[in-house]
Amino acid sequence: MKINPIMNPNIQKYYQPVNMAPAKVDVPISRDEVTLSEEALSCSKVRTEVEYRTPEERAYIAELTNAVRRGEYRIDSDKIADKILESVWRK
């Protein structure tokens, strides 16, 4: 199969770059504002309460945190399933 070249001398004008300056848009200056919900504030309170735990509890939490970071913490799915079923049956 032979493909003939296009010999149209005007084809270049269709592909020349167009020099257009981007339109300037005046955007009003505003300040962002953050408002925390009561739920978010309660999460902050929970974190503070964790800081007031006994030294033994803090050591246990640190131990669990380190095990998770090292990838050594294993989840027992049977225990989780049992607890879920217990909570459903109690209702």
pTM over 0.75: no
pLDDT for 79: 92
Structure-block tokens of residue 63: 């131990």
- Give the type of residue at 2: K
Write out pLDDT tens, residues 31-75: 778 887 888 777 766 666 666 778 898 888 889 989 999 999 888
Inform me whether the pLDDT recorded for 11 exceeds 70: no
Closest CA to 61 of 78, 44, 79, 49: 49
3-state secondary structure of 85: helix
Map out the domains of the chain as residue ranges. 38-91
Residue 67 neighbours by CB under 8 Å, 6+ apart: 73
Residue 50 neighbours by CB under 8 Å, 6+ apart: 61
